[in-house]
Amino acid sequence: MEQPSPHILIIDKSSSELDRLQLLLQDSNYSVTVHGDIQTGYKQCLASRPDLILFDVNLSFDRGSLFIRQMKKQYNDLPVPIIVVTQEAELDKRISIMEMGIDDLVIKPYYPEEIVARIHLLLQESNVPYLSSRPAQQGFSGSLKEMNLIDLIQTMELGAKSGIIYLNRGDKEGQVHIHVGKIVDAIVDDYDSIERAFLHMLTWIDGTFSVVIKDIGHDFPPVAANTQKLFIEGAKVIEQWRKETGELPALHTHLIRVESSQTPGIGNEEKLMLRQFQEPCTILQAIDRSEFEDFYALKLIKYLLEKGFLIKTEHERRRDERSSFSVNPQQLRRGIRSSKNKYSQIFSLFRRKRRHEQDMSLNLTLDENDETNLNLKSNYDEKTMNKIALTKAELLLVRQKFSN
């Protein structure tokens, strides 16, 4: 007797990846139902038990975790395997997702083939019949913050691997083709040379990557420029990019133009850039969408921010207030000057001490109305340089004191 097809329930927003995944699953003889939100997906689960659930936790993290708990409770006797997909790059967040008690976690962007392989595996473990087998795609993926393009290429070079590195930043996608550890092609936007496309992608520090290891054929000649030279040039580009972006809020910060009929004193290029921010838009999106070269676009945005033509959206400002590790100096000064501020006492200790460093007599005041100008440097991203005020001999004295 023919066995019924295993039923896969997918809860995710529609995307090209999802369409492809659906097709692949159907090709592998699965019956697939797709819902765009957790609510309807949940109702479907109550109506009939699926053999496996795949859902995107980013649709709603809280409801997602509730949904998982409900499913565990509902099918306590015969658990339904759950695969969660997420865009979350941070390991801590991924851990908290795993701790929800799911069976597998896949980071977006994913390869539909990889998901199919994982589904096969999970269903096999839970003894649900499956009718075809596909080898998993070989490769790995992650965040460019953790491994940048140079790290990836060096890794491929070290192992003399062949394959394609797919990079994603915002809406953009780029590819670097590697043959036996050597770059043979780089494709992004309409850059006409491999070197330029490659150098452009090096500035993608905030995106994600996926590496697919496969034989890409032998037709390509290796890239003209010497790889080492390209790396040196690339390192310079990365350094410059970090420096330029370090002076701005994070690239995913939403900005909006200040409503004003007049924009005196700015040129046509600045005006063109301002147009990108008619609606709230991240710095990265504006750079990607603008017709200017990335570094130039960055300079224009910096100028517009400094002159007050661009500001953070209300949402971003509220977020800043909540998470103040990225406080800006203005906020900090405001905090220090506020006579009601809880920390003014401690701050005043620091201020006084700095000012009277050379004084023989040091009076520390806790006067809350004291307003002292602090020379604060705008230093969002760079680590604070630590220069200990004590000598080694003094440190040894302190060490001795705490040994007794």
Where does this chain bind another protein (CB under 8 A)? 91-92, 94-95, 97-99, 105, 107, 136, 138-142, 146-147, 151, 155, 158-159, 161, 211, 213, 323-325, 327, 332, 335-336, 342-343, 345-347, 349-350, 353, 360-367, 374, 376-377, 379, 383-390, 392, 394-399, 401-404
Shortest Å, Cβ 214 to another protein? 11
Shortest Å, Cβ 43 to another protein? 29
Shortest Å, Cβ 102 to another protein? 9
With vertex at residue 285, the alpha carbon angle to CA 280 and CA 291, rounded to the nearest 5 degrees, is 115
User: Beta-carbon neighbour count of residue 377 at 10 Å?
Assistant: 7
Q: Which is nearer to another protein, 16 or 392 (CB)?
A: 392
Cβ atoms of 178 and 161 closer than 8 Å: yes
Task: Identify the CA nearest to 245 among candidates 145, 151, 381, 90.
Answer: 381
Q: Which is nearer to another protein, 46 or 98 (CB)?
A: 98
Torsion sign over Cα 150, 151, 157, 161: negative
With vertex at residue 102, the alpha carbon angle to CA 96 and CA 106, rounded to the nearest 5 degrees, is 80
Q: Which residue has the tokens 């969660």?
A: 84
Shortest Å, Cβ 31 to another protein? 26
Q: Which is nearer to another protein, 195 or 320 (CB)?
A: 320
- For 131-181, the DSSP string reads ----PPPPEEEEETTTS-HHHHHHHHHHTT--EEEEEEETTEEEEEEEETT
Shortest Å, Cβ 25 to another protein? 20
User: Beta-carbon neighbour count of residue 374 at 10 Å?
Assistant: 14
Shortest Å, Cβ 148 to another protein? 9
Containing H/E element for 55?
strand 52-56
